[in-house]
Chains A and B, each alone.
Chain A
Amino acid sequence: MHDIRNLTISSTNPCLLVYLIDQSGSMNDKFGNASHSKSVEVTNAINDIIYEVSLRCIGSGGELKNRFEIAIVGYGKQEDTVQSGWEGQLSDKWVVSIKNIFEFPLGQDNDKPIWIKPYSVSNTPMTKAFENAKRLCNDWINWGNHRDCHPPIIINITDGEATDAGNNFNALKSQVEQIKSLRTNYGSVNILNIHISTRAGDKLLFPNEVNTGGKFEKLLFEMSTPLDENMIRIAQQKGYDVRQNAKGYVFNGNATDLINFLNIGTPQ
């Protein structure tokens, strides 16, 4: 395996980011003390992070370099189905390069482009979403020179329990384990989870262990992979108390934590 510190994410060695977005009915509940819903908060955060990622891809001459390829997978918009979260001209795509993302925004909000809208409709088919992410990552790793690229990063944002996880969450766990076995020459696929809740308090950011909380909090923690050196550095820069082997898991984070989490999960 190569030393990831020698790797620069570039248009010749891009990185795949996969956002799994819970679009189930419960996402319509309010986000903490905010006046808007969880789905609106998540959508704003995703639109912001695409913009932030793109800032790292624009060259001095204004040309956009395809340093990142982004997949948005929505689950729960239709009953027990998973579909691409891209909309408008990009709606038939799973993975879109930064260059194409900026050619086809859905519109503008406060002078900034947006790509997705909030949805909160049906069940929570999270297992199917991870199964989809597994296929995406597998196809991506085996395409072109992607084995010599940064391993894909999956960021799952949910507010609740999967409705298709099977007995003792075995179906979901199985998909996650299969994803963790996928790797490039620079390491295995990263899985980060953010569990947003309407409850106030009980905040848990990048923990090394989870002793409290419900079964599902523990499951999401177990599903998450440890933060790599780069992520730990960024988390520390952003003021988080993060130790070695901390996992990419956040429970009950606020809006700032959400955007910081997405930023930490995006290699520099």
Chain B
Amino acid sequence: MSITVLQLHKRASYEFKHIQDKYAINSETKTFALADGTTQSFNSEIWAEIITKEFITNPVFVPKELIITFTKQVAVYKSTKFEFSSNPAKASLEKAKQNKGGTATFIGLQFKEHNILEIISCGDTNLFLLNSENKVISFPFADVDSLDANNCFINTEQLLQNNIDETFFKTKSIEYNSNDKIIIATDALSRLILKKPTIISEILKIEDFNQLNAFCLKYWESKELQEDDISAIIIPIQNIGSVKIIEPPKDFSFPKEKEEEFIPTSLQQKKQTNYTDMEMNEIRNQFNGVAQDFHQIKKKLKLHEMLLMVAISLLIVNILLMYFLRPVNSKNETTNTNGQSENVIIQKQESTPTISKEEAKKRQEELIMAGYKITADGDWGDESEKSWKEYQSKKHLRKKNEK
């Protein structure tokens, strides 16, 4: 069995590139380091990578010296470029986070001569030594409560301010046998092992990524394993040479959760539309326009109303006038039509002119000459008068035509 590195990112990170646990191995010097960059600090995975690499290059087991070594590395961490968000609120957050620096837990170990394993640790990344009798020795924490009580981390700003001293670190030298196996694991997996030591045999059986993925999913789903980055280095002391890395393939990612907004159904507020000043002005202008149009229409309607009233008044006056000024005897006129015609005849009879006999004879002769069949006796009766008038009108008409 070779050295096996197991790594899987937490589901909330989606892709392996976001894992914040970093490790470094130097097979020649038999030196190992594992660091867990904390989620809440700035570029913690970069800081975790820097300290693990530094440790395997320069393994130090004296806390004071290690603090000096790591403090020197803060400059490397700070030289990493970072592009701030264009959103000022977010950029302010990023700057605040940057000011708080990077934070990580750390464990470093080296197999030395005379079967001595040197360990230095800060934080809740734990080591488990499994001997041939399946007995487990754990360091620095032997139970979950003490692991959870840990409050030591290596923070870049705290290092610069000399706020990290040797009390942050725990060191130990362990004598080992060649058949022993060592597991170093970050906090989530360490917590599971401390609660359920039999899990170690399951971990040792993991041979590929599918098995690792299935193992993590099983314990994540049963809520026994914390949803966190999972990292472990399994070191078979007999064979510290080749390294087998079990990590997600490049195309692997956990599904992204749907970004659905939680809306409390029992507290649904009546939506109040908030208008901008510009929108409010526009609404006001439109309202004023409608009000003006309405005012104009009202004025016109008033004029029409007045004209209509005048017309109606005139009509009434007219009707009244017609009623009061109608002819009073009209009734008699209509009823005595026959009497009237009789009167006309009488009038006509009375209106026959009295002319001399000589004149009458003269007119009768003229009429006979004109072709009328009358007698020239000198008597001027109705018949003569009628013929004379007819003759005169014809004569008059002829003269007019001649003209």
Q: Given A55-B93, A140-B262, A3–B223 Cβ distance below 8 Å?
A: yes
Interface residue tally of chain B, by bracket?
35 or more
Contacts between the two chains (Cβ within 8 Å), count: 121
A139 and B97 within 8 A (CB): no
Q: How far is the CB of A146 from chain B (nearest CB, A)?
A: 8
A213 to B96, CA, bound (A): 40
Measured CA separation A120–B266 after assembly (Å) = 27
A92 at the interface (CB under 8 A from B): yes
Contact B40 A84 (CB under 8 A): no
Partner of B87, one of A7, A83, A103, A144: A103
Cβ-defined contact, A54 with B93, below 8 A:
yes
**CB atoms of A12 and B11 under 8 A apart:** yes
A92 touches B272 (CB 8 A): yes
Check B12 for interface membership: any CB of A closer than 8 A. yes
Do residues B227 and A102 form an inter-chain contact, with CB atoms below 8 A?
A: no
Residue from A97, A135, A268 in contact with B266 in the complex, judged by beta carbons closer than 8 Å: A135
Task: For B249, list chain A residues within 8 Å (CB).
Answer: none
Q: How far is the CB of B274 from chain A (nearest CB, A)?
A: 7
Knowing A5-B144, A6-B225, the reply to whether A135 touches B10 (Cβ < 8 A) is no
The residues of B that contact A102 with a CB separation of less than 8 Å are 87, 89-90, 93
In the bound complex, what is the Cα–Cα distance between A140 and B96 (angstroms)? 31
Let me know if B89 and A113 touch, CB within 8 A: yes
Q: For the complex formed, measure the closest distance between the CB of A106 and the CB atoms of chain B, giving whole angstroms.
A: 10
- CB A240 to nearest CB in B, in angstroms, measures 15
Quick one: closest B residue to A6, CB to CB? Answer: B226
Q: How far is the CB of A70 from chain B (nearest CB, A)?
A: 11
Q: Are A8 and B228 in contact (CB under 8 A)?
A: yes
Contact A91 B274 (CB under 8 A): yes
Instruction: Count residues of chain A with CB under 8 A from any CB of chain B.
Output: 53
Which of B43, B96, B272 has the most A CB atoms < 10 Å from its CB?
B96
Are the C-beta atoms of B93 and A144 separated by less than 8 Å? Answer: no
Alpha-carbon gap, A144 to B144, bound state (A): 31
User: Contact flags (1/0) for A96-124 with B, using CB distance below 8 Å?
Assistant: 01001011010010011100000000000
Q: Report the minimal beta-carbon distance from A63 to chain B, rounded to whole angstroms.
A: 9
CA distance A113 to B92 in the complex (A): 8
Cα of A229 to Cα of B148 in the assembled complex, Å: 10
The chain A residue with its CB closest to the CB of B265 is: A139
Q: How far is the CA of A132 from the CA of B224 in the complex (A)?
A: 34
Closest to A146 in B: B262
Contact residues, A46-94 vs B (CB, 8 A):
51, 54-56, 58-62, 64-66, 69, 83-84, 91-92, 94
Which A residues are in CB contact (< 8 Å) with B262? 69, 95, 97, 139-140, 143-144, 146
Chain A residue contacts of B12, Cβ below 8 A:
10-12, 65
Q: How far is the CB of B231 from chain A (nearest CB, A)?
A: 15
Question: From A10, which residue of chain B is reached at the shortest CB distance?
Answer: B12
Residue of A nearest to B12 (CB): A10
Least CB distance, A126 to chain B, in whole angstroms: 17
A residues with CB within 8 A of B: 2-3, 5-8, 10-13, 51, 54-56, 58-62, 64-66, 69, 83-84, 91-92, 94-95, 97, 100, 102-103, 105, 108, 111-113, 132, 135-136, 138-140, 143-144, 146, 148, 185, 229, 233, 237, 268
Listed A/B pairs (25) with beta-carbon separation below 8 Å: A5-B191, A10-B10, A10-B11, A51-B96, A54-B93, A55-B96, A55-B97, A56-B39, A59-B18, A60-B44, A62-B94, A84-B269, A91-B272, A94-B263, A94-B264, A94-B269, A95-B264, A97-B261, A100-B261, A102-B89, A113-B88, A135-B266, A139-B262, A140-B262, A148-B223
Binding site for A on B (CB under 8 A): 10-12, 18, 20, 39-40, 42-46, 82-85, 87-90, 92-94, 96-97, 100, 144, 148-149, 151, 191, 223-228, 257, 259-267, 269, 271-272, 274
